[in-house]
Structure 1
Amino acid sequence: MNQVTQMPSSCTSAVSAPQPAFPLDRWWVAGFAWELGDKPLARTLLGRPMVLFRRPDGRVAALEDRCCHKELPLSCGTLEDRGLRCGYHGMLFDSEGACIEIPGQDRIPAKACVRAYPLRERDKILWVWVGSTPDSLPTEEPPPYPWHADARYRFGGDSFHYNTPYQLIHDNLLDLSHLGYVHLKTIGGNPSVHMNAKLEVKQQGDVVSVIRHMPASAPPPTYVAAWPFKGLIDRWQEVEFHVSHLLIWTGAMDAGTGNIDDPLREGFHLRGFHGITPETESTCHYFWTMATNPHPDKPDVTQVVVDQTAATFHEDKTVIEAQWNNQRRFPDRSQVDIHVDVGPNRARRVIDRLLKTA
C-alpha cells in the first residue's frame, strides 16, 4: 500500500448548516451500549444525522453520517480495525472524523474529514454531546446511573420512535395521574385515587421534581405479579426531570409497614430511566430502561416487569401520537390547564428559558 500523507484537519472549525432549535452544549441520550455491534448504527439526534460505532478497543464514536466525497451515508459502510470505511469509494475515516486512507491516492486533502461528536458509554447508556458550534466540547462527563450496576436490581430496556415533539413525552411522564385511565391493565389503579393524590412540585435550577403519594391504595396488576403484597399498599411516584432525561422512582410497600418518605424504604421498587432525545422538531427517540428489585419469593419476574413496562409505553405512545395529530387538526385552539399540569408546565419553562438564552 502506498504511504499516506495526512493533511491537517479543518473539520472542527467548519460552519454547520442551520439546525432545529434545541438546548445544546449538553449530553443527550444516543442509545444503549448493547446496540453497537459489528455494524455502524444510523441515528438522527437533534436534527443531526449521525453514525454511531464501537472501535476495536471497545470505545465508542459518533460521526456525521455522510462521506465528504459523494455524501453516501457512512452508516452504509463497514467497520474495520482503523475506523469506518465508506461503502461507495472506500475512503476510511477514524473516530475523530479524519479521512486516513483514500484507495489509489497518496495525498489526503485537508478538507477530507467529517464532523465528530463526543460519544461516551456510561452505565450501559450512550451519551452524545451536541454543541452549539463544532468547537464546543464537553465541560463534564455524562451523569451516572448506578441502578444498572446495583446488585439488588435487575433491568431491561428498549427504545421507541415517536412521531411527536419530544416535550409531549415530558408532559406525559411528569403527570402520572393518567395512569388510572391509560394503564388499567398494568400499572394503573383507581382513577380517583390518582387524580386526588397529594402532589408536591419542587425545582432546583433546571431540575424539576414531582412527588405523589397514594397511601392505602389497591395494588395494580403489575405490582401484584411482581411482589407478594398482603393487601392495600402505600404507593409512591417520584419523578425527576432533567433537560435530556427523566428519572422516575415508583413503588410500594404494604400499607402501614414503613415510612414512605424514607430514602431507604423497603418494598417493591421500579426505577425507570427515560432518555427523551429529539430527532427533529416533530419526531423523537425514547430510550428507556426499568430496573426492579426481585422479591426472594418471586426471583424470576424481572422480564414480566420489563414486558409490562413496555406494554404501558405502547399505550402512552398511542395516546401521545393521537394527541399530537389532533393538536395539528386544531392549531388555533387553546388548552386549559388543570392542577396536574404544574410539573409539565415548569419543565416547559425550563426549556423555553434555555432556548431564549442560547
Structure 2
Amino acid sequence: MDQVFKKTDMVENNKSLNLFPKNQWYVCALSKEISTEKPLARTVLNTNLVLFRHHNGQAVALEDRCCHRALALSCGVIEEGGIRCGYHGLLYNQTGRCIEIPGQEKIPSKAKVKAYPIQEKNQIIWFWYGSEEHPVPNCEPPEYSIHDDERYVFDGDVYHYDAPYQLIHDNLMDLSHLGYVHLKTIGGNATVHMNAQMKVEQEGNTVTVIRHMPGSEPPPTYKMAYPFKDKVDRWQEIVFKVSHITIWTGAVDADTDKLDDPQRQGFHMRGFHGITPETETTSHYFWTMATNPTDPEKAEELKAVVIQQTKDTFDEDRIVITDQYQNMLRIPNSNMVDIHVDVAANRARRIIKELLQVS
C-alpha cells in the first residue's frame, strides 16, 4: 500500500476552504443544464454562483447576490441584456456590471457583482478556481472528446452528495467493489473483481489504473446492451485527475480481441465523472456515460438502457458513500486498514494533499 491514513484524515482534511486545490478547472454544470430561460443557482467550492446563458449563447457565471439588497440573482429572470434581480429590478450584464436601475438614470460605479471565469468545452461547463496569483485561467480546461465523437451516444446527470468529495474519488478509483455493490447492474463475480489483474501508474498529478478480467461472465448491464455469445474478456481503465475521473469499461467476446488494443471492439461504456466540492462536507457529482451502438437505428434504445443502468449503479454508490460518511462521523478518531485494492485511491489522496500544501 502506498500510504496509510486515518479515518479522521478523511473527515478533518476538508475543514478549510484552503483544502480545495487551487488553480484548477472544476466542473460546475453540464451544458444542457444552462439555458436562456431560467437561471441556475449552484454552490461550488464554497462559492455561490448563478449560471445562465446570455442571449448570444455564452455561458455566464456571476456571484449569486444582488449588490442592492442581497437577494439571490437566481431568484430573478434572464433578459436579452443579462439577468434582472427579482426584488427591485436591477439588470446585470454578463460581466456583472449593473446596466439598468428602474426609475434611476445614474448607475453607481459600485453597482456590480463578481463575474467568474468559466468555459464551455465538450458540452461541459468548467469553473476556474484560482489563487491570488492566478485569479484568471493560466491554462485551458481539460479535453473530453468522447462527447463529440460520432461513434458514441451519451447522456448524463448531476447528483448531490452529503459527503466530502474525496470519498467519491475513493469509490471510483477502486472498482473491486462492483461485485458486492452492483450485483444487478455492472457487477459480476466478486471473486473475479477482487483478484483482477491490476496495474497502477502515476505521471505527475495523473493516476491511471488498468484492470483486466479475462474469461468473465458478463454482468446484467452488459447482457442487456450487447449480444455476447458466452464468456467475455472485460477491461476497466481509470484515469484520475484532480477535478475529474474518466473510466473506460467494457468487454469483448472471450479470446476475440486484445484488451490492450486502443481500437478494440465489443461493448464500451465511457464514463466522465466531474467531482466538485460544494462545501467541506457536500459534493456535486457531474457524470455522463457514452456507449458505442453497433446498430445506428437502435442507438437511442441502447443509450436509454445504458443510462438507466448507470443511474441505478450510481444510486447504489450514493447510498454506500453517504452511509459510510455518516458512520465515520458517528465513530470518529479511528484508523482504517488498507488492503491491496487501495493503492490507486491512496495515490490520488496523496496528490491532493501535496497540491494543498502549495495552493
Give the equivalent residue in structure 2 for 1:14.
none
Cα distance in 2 for partners of 1:99, 1:247 equals 40
Give the equivalent residue in structure 2 for 1:158.
157
Letter of the aligned partner of 2:49 in structure 1? M
Following TM superposition, by how much is the alpha carbon of 1:118 offset from its aligned partner in structure 2, in angstroms? 1.1
Give the equivalent residue in structure 1 for 2:233.
234
Asked if the contact 1:97–1:116 (Cα under 8 Å) also holds between the matched residues in 2, the reply is yes
Does residue 25 of structure 1 match 2:23? yes
Give the equivalent residue in structure 2 for 1:321.
322
Summarize the alignment of residues 1-358 of structure 1 with structure 2, pairs less than 5 Å apart.
Answer: 19=17, 21-37=19-35, 38-133=37-132, 136-296=135-295, 299=299, 300-358=301-359
Higher helix content, 1 or 2? 2
Cα distance in 2 for partners of 1:141, 1:210 equals 25
SS at match of 2:19: coil
**Per-residue displacement from partner, 1:88-107 (whole Å, max 9, x unpaired)?**
11111111111111222222
SS at match of 1:309: helix
Asked if the contact 1:42–1:75 (Cα under 8 Å) also holds between the matched residues in 2, the reply is yes
Following TM superposition, by how much is the alpha carbon of 1:108 offset from its aligned partner in structure 2, in angstroms? 1.9
Asked if the contact 1:226–1:298 (Cα under 8 Å) also holds between the matched residues in 2, the reply is no
* Residues 170 and 135 of structure 1: CA distance in aligned 2, closer, same or farther (over 3 Å): closer
Asked if the contact 2:17–2:280 (Cα under 8 Å) also holds between the matched residues in 1, the reply is no
**Per-residue displacement from partner, 1:34-63 (whole Å, max 9, x unpaired)?**
111201100000001100000000011001
SS at match of 1:349: helix
TM-score (norm 2): 0.93
* Residues 116 and 105 of structure 1: CA distance in aligned 2, closer, same or farther (over 3 Å): same
Cα distance in 1 for partners of 2:314, 2:356 equals 28
SS at match of 2:288: strand
* Residues 352 and 345 of structure 1: CA distance in aligned 2, closer, same or farther (over 3 Å): same
SS at match of 1:261: coil
Cα distance in 2 for partners of 1:149, 1:88 equals 41
Letter of the aligned partner of 1:350 in structure 2? I
Letter of the aligned partner of 1:304 in structure 2? V
Following TM superposition, by how much is the alpha carbon of 1:354 offset from its aligned partner in structure 2, in angstroms? 0.6
TM-score (norm 1): 0.93
Higher relative contact order (CA 8 A, sep 6+): 2
**Off by >6 Å, runs of 4+ in structure 1:** none
Deviating more after overlay: 304-313 vs 288-297: 288-297
Asked if the contact 2:23–2:134 (Cα under 8 Å) also holds between the matched residues in 1, the reply is no
Unaligned regions of 5+ residues in structure 2, if any? 1-15
**Per-residue displacement from partner, 1:137-172 (whole Å, max 9, x unpaired)?**
011221221111211111111110000000000000
SS at match of 1:108: coil
Cα distance in 2 for partners of 1:298, 1:103 equals 54
Unaligned regions of 5+ residues in structure 1, if any? 1-17
TM-align CA RMSD? 1.4
* Residues 54 and 298 of structure 1: CA distance in aligned 2, closer, same or farther (over 3 Å): closer
Cα distance in 2 for partners of 1:202, 1:327 equals 29
